[in-house]
Amino acid sequence: MPHKVGAYIRVSTEEQAQVVEGSIDSQKFRLKKFVEGKNDIEKTWGKLIDLYIDDGFSAKDTKRPAYQKMMRDVRAGKINLILVSDVSRLSRNIHDFCSLLKDLEDHKAKFLSVKEQFDTSTPAGEMMIYNMINLAQFERRQTAERVSMNFHSRALRGLLSGGNPILGFDKDPENRGRLIVNQSEAVMVRKIFDTYLETGSLQDTAKALNGSGIQPKIGEGRRCRHVSEGRWTVGSVRNHLLNLAYVGKLEVNRRFKNEDSDTLKSWQKYQIVDASWPAIVDEKVFYSVQKLVDENREKERFRFKTGQRRFFLLSGIIRCGECGRALIGQTSTGRSAAHRYYGHKIIVGETNSCRIKRFRSEDVEAAVVNHLDEMLLRAGYLDQIEKNIRQMMAGKTSDALAERERIKKDLLALDKEIESAFKLHSEMNSSPSVLDLVREKLESLADKKRELVKYLESTEDLIQKDQDAREARKVIEDQALEQTWPFILKDRLETECDEFLRVQQFHANVAHPAYKVIPVDQIFGVRFTNTDKSDVNRLSKTGFVSR
């Protein structure tokens, strides 16, 4: 059968990926020529189905988009042969490579390297492939260690090892490891620190900066996390305020800052050294800001630790009547108490022009809960729910009752037949062949009994669901009478009725546990009366509930 070939191509850096006629083009050419050569020798050897190209990804793991797409195609049967120019293009990790081989084996696929054409179906070929991957992994780790040691040496001398310049600095064109002061941006940086000392709040500082026209510096490169469309956020303000580069210091191995130094190698230990560029923020101002940031962080931790847990019944469910955006629970702390609201979810870069920015949660929840209480306790409403449930189950339940009686009769007859066979077996002194026939009969009867018992159990389950239908109405009614609707919608009802509702699949559009405020009728098949609909319209006009 012809091979369905997927050619995998990878380069490690963006620079390699951008070189015209570079490594990517070379790999494409080699792989296409290899397939053509194979087909010249064997006319139906295979067809190149697709090219999978990861440009700028390391082979240290499998977190590569083209690689993941290729493996999905293997599992789907779209390709059954992975072709690479050499093994290291595919993986430099022995664990990942073993997983790859197992995955290929499970889906009756294989891989082939143009450079190392080992037959993995033989023990010798498999050993050679594993040795090649081990060597590739060793090379990768050795290279990574050498690079880390080199970066560490540069950092101790106060030099950068890549990355984009921060606000207030530019890269030195003569030495890319150094920064030079951008005087106009340095004024902005000092303004950020002064604003935070004035407001004492990251959020207020971000608002002030966005209103002042000062914009964050946006870096370059595919992997650069662009600051949210030129606007300041709490996170970007915090990052600037905590950056030691503004006082002429450089953090070495910051990612190991909270690690036990005794477990780290010498070039992995965290330390602070003098940078190769001057400070642009006064140290007194900088460390005053650090103290204030720490104090605010501790206050926030204390508030979360000691504060009352706040439950927002309708968060994410209701929507603004003007813009249609979801409203979420929000809390603001006044002088004497905390106030709860439903407000618009903040989306950085978007402005909110709605007339009403937020609603008091007490007003919204009271309106919705009162409406639900009235709707549920209205005469005949719960009766209709139970009726609809029972109608859906009526046919199956009546059949199940009759089936249960038939099975019980069959089991009684079967027990008598088994008893007779045992009695016959004990009284006979026949030849071994006759006894074997009796034993086979007993085994057949035993198998049949097991099947009947299992069928009886499934029938009992169906009958039990009829009882569940009666109990479901009582649960809903009791909870409504106890005025616990906030917890029914998101907790109690889910716990007590979810399995029953899921099995019966009352309504094709129900997606538990994403309960809605108004469409209770959609779950149970009960139609709103005209009065119900007018109540819903009334709530919708308040902006509390979306229709």
Which residues are tagged catalytic? 12
> Of 295, 357, 314, which Cα lies nearest the Cα of 332?
357
Q: Environment class of residue 244 by beta-carbon count within 10 Å: exposed (0-12), middle (13-18) or buried (19+)?
A: middle
The answer to whether 496 touches 478, Cβ cutoff 8 Å, is no
The answer to whether 11 touches 67, Cβ cutoff 8 Å, is no
SS3 call for 4: strand
Torsion sign over Cα 177, 178, 182, 187? positive
**Structure tokens given for 279:** 């400070």
Rounded CA-CA distance 489/512 in Å is 11
Torsion of CA 113, 117, 118, 121, to 10 degrees: 80
Rounded CA-CA distance 453/447 in Å is 10
Task: Give the Å distances, CA to CA, from 312 to 29, 229, 489, 517.
Answer: 60, 31, 12, 13
Radius of gyration of the chain (CA): 36
Query: What single string gives the DSSP state of each residue in 346-375?
Result: P-TT-----S--EEEHHHHHHHHHHHHHHH
> Of 32, 24, 84, which Cα lies nearest the Cα of 54?
24
**DSSP letter (8 states) at residue 155:** H
SS3 call for 158: coil
Tokens 């639900």: give the residue: 372
Torsion sign over Cα 103, 104, 106, 107? positive
Helices (H), 45-122: 65-76, 87-90, 94-106
- ∠ at Cα 134 (26, 71), nearest 5°? 60
SS3 call for 387: helix
> Of 206, 167, 165, which Cα lies nearest the Cα of 189?
167
Task: Give the Å distances, CA to CA, from 280 to 172, 219, 223, 283, 289.
Answer: 16, 20, 28, 9, 15
Q: Summarize the chain as % helix, strand, coil (round to 5).
A: 55, 10, 30
- ∠ at Cα 438 (435, 443), nearest 5°? 125
Edge-first strand order for the sheet with 338-344 is 327-333, 338-344, 358-360
Rounded CA-CA distance 153/150 in Å is 5
